[in-house]
Structure 1
Amino acid sequence: MLTRAYAAHSPTMPLAPFEIERREPGPNDVAIDILYCGVCHSDLHTVRGEWPGVLYPSVAGHEIVGRVRAVGPDVTKVRVGSLVGVGCMVDSCRTCAACARNLEQYCENGFIATYNGSSLGGSENTYGGYSAAIVVDEHFVLRITHNENDLAAVAPLLCAGITTWSPLRHWNVGPGMKIGVVGIGGLGHMAIKLAHALGAHVVAFTTSPSKREAALALGADEVVISTDNSQMLMHAASFSFILNTVAASHDLDAFMALLKLDGTMTVVGVPSSPHPSPAIAPFIFKRRSLAGSVIGGIAETQEMLDFCARHDITADIETIAIQDIEAAFARMVKSDVQYRFVIDMATLKTA
């Protein structure tokens, strides 16, 4: 079925109205009318061709919230009228060891991305949430129980939320732990909210003194200016866990020195150029670990959404019209947003 969308036709062309073909729902499919779609830095990197292998036309968007319009005859997870979400994945092999552990994000045969993905065994493009509707296998559809008035602010949970929740859960962050969050942006602001709700003592790290009050308001117990050596030294060897959300290349040694015995720093931001290689001695003498993490599996994402609904957690957002996406991209490059743009897809009707 033909569906309205906004697409990039090349790395140098602005996004513009476009029509895409969505499949008719199969037995296990859910057809969703999209209400809101978050704007992720991955969207910008993709449509601008900054990552390899981009397929054009490109319809970005993997922070999708909508309402079920139709379901296939074998669907049991949701029903017509249900509020649902779709994140970064729309399929995986579902047979490998990772998928068997509900870790579809680490599918050994490669998960199928919501946009710029491929069909299993082929190279067909996939189109994301900058569109009026989407059809997804029910396994990759998430139930949303937040208040309907919060739906726009729920959208970023489907990427920014799960990207930070997954490492917090994997490394068992909870009461009695002193943990750090590096960076107070789209990912960092969610990490602070989630870690605070999990009961940890949260220390936010930023290079910008102007962000101190904002970090405290998000739930941080302390704020450290990471360029101030005296402030950093006060926290030496005291953290159980640090979540580093910064996507720019920077010195990791300064943060590794803050981990206590058996502490771990997990990096979730992907810089355009590599981080300087960290020194080895700090790892050896405190048995510290440096790790990475990417989004989360479907079961874990549902757990995160349910936790956020119970604790009244959403993202801090600015809602925009689809016609303003290029201006939003320009502001994102300047970090001029607190902390996530979300597109009201009703504006697509007039695009």
Structure 2
Amino acid sequence: VLKVPENIDAKGAAPLLCAGITTWSPLRHWKVKKGDKVGVIGLGGLGHMGVKFAAALGAKVVMITTSPGKSEDAKKLGADEVLISKDEEQMKKHTGSFDFLLNTVPVKHDLNPYIGLLKRDATMVLVGAIEPLEEMHGGLLITKRRNVAGSVIGGIPETQEMLDFCGEHNIVSDIEMIDMQNINEAFDRVTKSDVKYRFVIDMKSLKN
């Protein structure tokens, strides 16, 4: 049983039990703290929560995305800066400067450009791509003792900690409420990345 703080909206709290804890758990496990430079790779259901949490923890947050059009949204969510990963000059400026990277990209992609962003002994954690990935260059890991790790959801005590933190900082997921009857349309929109950033079903519509 989990207690949802009374001051946060139930609709926005629902995805916290998935996207929320999935991003909170690695931030806590790797002890992200005030002053750390944290990169959140990918702005979607997971990424938008990663930005909110990292910012509330006091980190300097950089949203790392392939889409320049997401810059404004990222800053509204709490990002201090936006890094366009397709821009080689921008990537070069950030080489070896991140304390932690939260990688929320849900599909196969090349990790090597992101590994190069890490400081010595720093970690990139994957929470999205549960499939085979591109080959990693061992030299990028070996030369600076960098780490690539994975994380998935979290236990009940950690989830309650996350909910309490959300209550203290007034954090919820950005959602769009839909009726049960619109589930197929919502699914199609999810596949087109046309949702900011989670759909929540109004179960009262089930009676209609």
CA distance in 2, matches of 1:274, 1:225: 24
Q: What is the SS of the residue equivalent to 1:296?
A: coil
Residue 95 of structure 2: aligned partner:
236
1:289 maps to 2:147: yes
CA distance in 2, matches of 1:281, 1:328: 43
Residue 39 of structure 1: aligned partner:
none
The answer (yes or no) to whether the contact 2:38–2:61 under 8 Å persists in 1 is yes
The answer (yes or no) to whether the contact 2:23–2:153 under 8 Å persists in 1 is yes
Residue 343 of structure 1: aligned partner:
201
1:259 maps to 2:136: no
- Per-residue deviation at 1:176? 1.4
Q: What is the SS of the residue equivalent to 2:86?
A: coil
Residue 305 of structure 1: aligned partner:
163
Root mean square deviation of aligned Cα = 0.9
TM-score of the superposition, structure 1-length normalised? 0.59
- Per-residue deviation at 1:270? 2.5
Residue 56 of structure 2: aligned partner:
197
Residue 188 of structure 2: aligned partner:
330
**Structure 1 residue identity aligned to 2:46:** L
CA distance in 1, matches of 2:134, 2:85: 17
Q: Which runs of 5+ in 2 are unaligned?
A: none
Query: Cα deviation per residue 1:230-280 (whole Å; 9 max; x = unaligned)?
Result: 111110000111000001111100000000110100000124x52111000
**Structure 2 residue identity aligned to 1:199:** G
CA distance in 2, matches of 1:144, 1:323: 27
Q: What is the SS of the residue equivalent to 1:241?
A: strand
The answer (yes or no) to whether the contact 2:7–2:170 under 8 Å persists in 1 is no
Residue 147 of structure 1: aligned partner:
7
**Structure 2 residue identity aligned to 1:314:** V
Q: What is the SS of the residue equivalent to 2:153?
A: coil
Tell me which protein shows more helix as a share of its residues.
Answer: 2
What does residue range 158-177 of structure 1 map to in structure 2 within 5 Å?
A: 158-177=17-36
Query: Cα deviation per residue 1:296-316 (whole Å; 9 max; x = unaligned)?
Result: 110000000000011000011
Structure 1 segments (4+ residues) deviating >4 Å:
none
Query: Cα deviation per residue 1:104-149 (whole Å; 9 max; x = unaligned)?
Result: xxxxxxxxxxxxxxxxxxxxxxxxxxxxxxxxxxxxx21111336x
Q: 1:347 to 1:221 in 2, by over 3 A?
A: same
CA distance in 2, matches of 1:250, 1:207: 12
CA distance in 2, matches of 1:268, 1:191: 11
**Structure 2 residue identity aligned to 1:334:** K
Aligned match for 1:181, one of 37, 40, 63: 40
CA distance in 2, matches of 1:246, 1:219: 19
Q: What is the SS of the residue equivalent to 1:290?
A: strand
Q: How many residues align?
A: 208
Which structure exhibits the higher relative contact order, with contacts defined as CA atoms closer than 8 Å and separated by 6 or more residues?
Answer: 2
CA distance in 2, matches of 1:348, 1:305: 27
Tell me which protein shows more strand as a share of its residues.
Answer: 1
CA distance in 2, matches of 1:147, 1:290: 37
- Per-residue deviation at 1:205? 0.5
The percent of aligned pairs where both chains have the same amino acid is 60
